[in-house]
Amino acid sequence: MRIAVVPGDGIGQEVVPAALPVLTLLDEAYGLGITHDVLDWGADTWLRTGVGLPEGAIERLTKEYGAVLLGALGDPRIPDMAHGREILLGMRRGLDLYVNHRPVTLPTGVIDIFRENTQGLYVGVGGTVPQGGRTGVAIDECVYTRETVEKFVRYCLGRLRDTGRTKVTLVHKANAVPNTGRLWQEVFRRELEDFPGLEGSEEYVDAFCYHLVRDPSPYQGVLASNLFGDIVSDIGAALMGGLGLAASASICPETGIGLFEPVHGSAPDIAGRGIANPYATVMSLAMLLEHAGHGAPAALLRRCLDEAARGEAATPDLGGKGTTRSFMDAVLALLERG
Amino acid sequence: MRIAVVPGDGIGQEVVPAALPVLTLLDEAYGLGITHDVLDWGADTWLRTGVGLPEGAIERLTKEYGAVLLGALGDPRIPDMAHGREILLGMRRGLDLYVNHRPVTLPTGVIDIFRENTQGLYVGVGGTVPQGGRTGVAIDECVYTRETVEKFVRYCLGRLRDTGRTKVTLVHKANAVPNTGRLWQEVFRRELEDFPGLEGSEEYVDAFCYHLVRDPSPYQGVLASNLFGDIVSDIGAALMGGLGLAASASICPETGIGLFEPVHGSAPDIAGRGIANPYATVMSLAMLLEHAGHGAPAALLRRCLDEAARGEAATPDLGGKGTTRSFMDAVLALLERG
Ligand SMILES: CC(C)[C@H](C(=O)O)[C@@H](O)C(=O)O
Ligand SMILES: CC(C)[C@H](C(=O)O)[C@@H](O)C(=O)O
């Protein structure tokens, strides 16, 4: 299997290179047969050539690669993140990565947040109506097809069942956003019938956010549309102790291709100082390995990462006294000891 | 001034009657000249007659009343809250209550969250496309007119300036929901120019929720569209210590009419037991008095309410040992002493 590695911008340029030796080490130790190519997509390329996602990139990724490992996108020179949207939303759509999985690890357990990643308010349908030379009316459409909601819900419920979960919550807003809201409710209820081991519940997004902040412990699996998943998973990251810890996988279950990336941004304020926390990137790499069927090295990597995160070598945001480098040295040393 | 009082459902039937003696007492003590009528809108009426918001209600409210005090809507017999939506969304639209103000009181200060209350994803525009006899595509439109965004932003910035605030944050998602997002950004930036004392900032809704949960202390004023305001203000309530404390005012600055209500729901699980916390309803009454120009009794009420909330007579959710009744007795006793 070949992996496309996109460090991207800011601290992406630090945490991704820091994570790669882990891949090499595990590849050798376990004979995984994984190779990787580093691609220079990001702000510098965009500013130099005007290209975010190169022509033919989707086809190349589909044919030649099994997964993408992405660092972060975002650069102060491009305030509207046009390049980031082209690359990120381009891959989500182009590779049909309709499942975005963001595990939220808390002392009380893990909440698997699944976000639909390709439709909803992100479809880019809408426009503006001019009035006296300016925008008089602005419209953004939230669009969902039954097919997408069905395959998303079915996949997530299967994942939850297969990982031994017993409870799943649909986050929606059918009381105010009725058409898409009811489609989600209808599909959720119908698909749940095929998963007798899963107890389903439904919550309005506002009430869900309230409950999540007050007490996240009752939740196991959460299914949400694109926008609600975006919001809810960031709240999850806050509860986890920060974006520095949050990893994510965007996958297309049919083709198997996946995009693995930390939830955090490019953090221009700390970029270049060698203190960026590589935890979320390495955790994303563990998700990649797991997704590729390499459960044993993924589990080992998680254990070593968590142990190193508790030590002095970890970065300051984790309470350590170290740097990106010392943190990863500690991870590698633990991995070598197995 | 006449007030329409709608206790509504569940604990609304307890907390609103509990709050009314406060109104009578302050009315006499300060000679406010406020009278009120109790209206029976809610689940019982809906189930008996099929009517949520009676015909002509909007006209009557507009002509005869200066404000509405609402308890809560929601009943297990009406799972989709059809009656609640008819009443609540009907008043918001019919009375053009485009400003929803939800103060979030934290140990580090008060955050004034202002939510646009009439447009966005709540416009009810959209529909479904059938496919093989079922919904194949569902569409909900998010629509904003410049006029509404402008008058909303201008009013809120004026309020923030007049109450001595120096910072204001726009919550949006222009990177994924571009048409309405950019309209909000454009209007926000332009209107800010008229308020040199206010320092503006803009945050994506996901990042804002993350920051709010991690550390709410930097925020003073927050402006958000309808859906984002709905979500963000519930997170604010969670940070405050619960929905039991969150009050809200929905107003039309042009006509002056306002709807004042606790943010909490009808809590069927504790309804009828006499232990519902009346804090948020009484605080909503204080907002009503303030809005009607009675700043002194509003301030006195707030002080007495907060003092009683810290005492033994308060309800259990506040750490007290009391009931709705004992809590309000304590508030009234403090008010009588002035
Ligand atoms: C950059 C932005 C368009 C993106 C999103 O909203 O999906 C980001 O917030 C994310 O969660 O990956
Ligand atoms: C009941 C519901 C339609 C309503 C809303 O979303 O506005 C409620 O959540 C609120 O915040 O008042």
pLDDT in tens, A298-313: 999 999 999 999 999 9
| Interface residue B32 vs chain A (CB under 8 A) | no
- Res. A79: pLDDT tops 90: no
| C-alpha distances in Å from residue B268, one per residue of A186, B72, B74, B77, B264 | 25, 10, 8, 11, 11
Mutate to test the pocket of ligand 2, among A175, A203, A210 (most ligand atoms within 8 A of CB): A175
Q: What is the pLDDT of residue A306?
A: 97
| Interface residue B44 vs chain A (CB under 8 A) | no
Sign of CA dihedral A144, A148, A152, A158: positive
Q: Could you tell me where the beta strands, DSSP code E, fall in A255-327? A: 258-262
Structure confidence at residue A338 as a pLDDT band (50, 70, 90):
confident
Round to whole Å and give the CA distance between B100 and B124.
19
Q: What is the pLDDT of residue A80?
A: 84
Cβ density class A58-74: b for 16+ within 10 Å, e for less: beebeeebbbbbbbbbb
Q: What pTM, to 2 d.p., does this model score?
A: 0.96
Contact A137 B144 (CB under 8 A): yes
What kind and span of H or E run contains A127?
strand A126-131
Contact A80 B175 (CB under 8 A): yes
Report the atom number in ligand 2 closest to the C-alpha of A173: 6
Residues 6+ away with beta carbon under 8 Å from B89: A176, B122
DSSP letters spanning B206-271: HHHHHHHHH--TT-SEEEE-HHHHHHHHHHHHHHHT-GGG-EEEEE-TTT--EEEEESS---TTTT
Residues 6+ away with beta carbon under 8 Å from A53: A41, A86, A87, A90, A91, A94
Q: What is the pLDDT of residue B149?
A: 98
Of B75, B123, B108, B67, the residue nearest B298 (C-alpha): B67
Q: What is the pLDDT of residue B80?
A: 84
Structure confidence at residue A288 as a pLDDT band (50, 70, 90):
very high
Q: Across chain A, what does the average pLDDT equal? A: 97
Q: What is the pLDDT of residue B79?
A: 85
Instruction: List domains and CATH numbers for chain A.
Output: 1-97+252-338 (3.40.718.10), 105-240 (3.40.718.10)
**B206 ligand 1 Cβ < 6 A:** yes
Strand partners, A113: A102, A222
B238 CB neighbours in chain A (<8 A) are 209-211, 213-214
Residue nearest to atom 10 of ligand 2 (CA): B230
Round to whole Å and give the CA distance between A328 and A305.
8
Q: What is the pLDDT of residue A228?
A: 98
Q: Which residues of chain B have pLDDT under 70?
A: none
Strand partners, A38: A5
| Interface residue B181 vs chain A (CB under 8 A) | yes
- Find how far residue A185's CA is from the centre of its chain: 24
